[in-house]
Each structure stands twice: as C-alpha cells, then as structure tokens.
Amino acid sequence: MKTTRLEAFSDGVLAIIITIMVLEMKVPHATDLAGLKPVLPVFLSYVLSFIYLGIYWNNHHHLFQATEQVSGGILWANLHLLFWLSLFPFTTGWMGENGFASMPTAVYGFVLVMAAIAYLILERAIIAKEGRDSVLAQAVGRDRKGKLTATFYLSAIPLAFVSPSIACGLYVLAALLWLIPDPRIERKLEDRKE
C-alpha cells in the first residue's frame, strides 16, 4: 500500500473528528450572553482538543514524510492511533459539559495517554521497517518529547482527583511543548534536503 492512501484516510478521519467535536457544543435556547455561559467550558475543552488534534495531524504527517511503503503492521498501528483519537469528541464533551469535574478530566487524560502510546507504537513500527539509520530514526531518536508528554498525561490522571485545574494545567503545558517547534527535528529535515 502506498503512503498517500493511508495519509488521505487518516486526514479524513482527523478532519471529521475535529468537526464532530463541535457538535458537542449544543446550541443554547436563551438568546442573551448568559445563554452562552454553560457553553463556555465545552468551548474551552473544544479549543484544547482542537489544538491536540492539530498537533497529531502535524506530527502524523512528519512521520510519514520519510516513509515510502506501508506494511500490515504499520497500517494497524495507524488504525490503533485513529481509534484513540476518535474517542476525543466523547471525552472532550464529557469533560466540558461537566465543568471539568474530576472523573471526566481523568478519563480525558487516560485517552491522551493511550493516544500517546499508540503514537509511539506507530513510530516504532515505521522505524522497524525503515531501519535504524533512516532519517526518521535519527530525527526522533528515543523520542524524549513523546515520552515526556506521556508522563504529563499519566500524572494528570491521579492529580485530577486532587484538583482538576492541575490536571488541565498539565494538558495545556504538554500542548505548548508540542506547539513550540523542535529545533533538532527541523535541523535534521533541513540537513536531509541538502
């Protein structure tokens, strides 16, 4: 299977997940600003998940940029990742509609952890096929960033029962870590071009 079809399918699924999340923002019956008040936490959780899905879409592309052929293992590792990402609308809605209560905030973190693990598995599957000397293997290295943020999500799960704000703070912090471009990867990619 060529990479393009797998990318196109993944793009489709990600695009739909992003847009379906918006359906959790139920149109209020009230027509004043107070009517928007219960929508606010749903909106904030939507913003957070939108950014996460944007990050995954971005990283997903980087992952397959150096990949030529897709094996059965890569294909299912990719579907496994999409599975956990497809649960984002559910956990986002549950967390948002209940004003960031402890259990929904912890479950949100659980799905983040599972998606991060699924991403690491996919990364390993591609490197296993491309070889230890491939551009991807060198650029990613031991993927300390991926493992670090996974630790953030993991810590956030018990912390959500102490204070959901701390857990959410960790989610925001991890997202910021991904948003700031990684100079090492950029450099590797630059090098490759030359």
Which of 140, 173, 142, 182 lies closest to 155, judged by CA? 173
Positions that interact with a second copy (CB under 8 A): 1, 5, 7-9, 11-20, 22-25, 27-29, 31-33, 35-36, 47, 50, 54, 57-58, 61, 65, 72, 75-76, 79, 82-83, 86-87, 89-90, 93-94, 97-98, 101-104, 107, 179, 181, 186
What is the Cα–Cα distance from 3 to 65, expressed in whole angstroms? 9
Provide, rounded to whole angstroms, the least separation between the CB of residue 194 and a second copy: 15
What is the Cα–Cα distance from 157 to 123, expressed in whole angstroms? 24
Closer residue to a second copy (CB): 95 or 116: 95
**Residue located via tokens 């096929």:** 129
Provide, rounded to whole angstroms, the least separation between the CB of residue 187 and a second copy: 13
Q: Which amino acid is at 149?
A: T
Closer residue to a second copy (CB): 81 or 132: 81
Q: Calculate the CA 81 to chain-centre distance.
A: 9
Closer residue to a second copy (CB): 24 or 123: 24
Closer residue to a second copy (CB): 58 or 148: 58
Provide, rounded to whole angstroms, the least separation between the CB of residue 160 and a second copy: 11
- Residue 151, judged by CB atoms within 10 A of its CB (0-12, 13-18, 19+), counts as middle
Q: Calculate the CA 113 to chain-centre distance.
A: 9
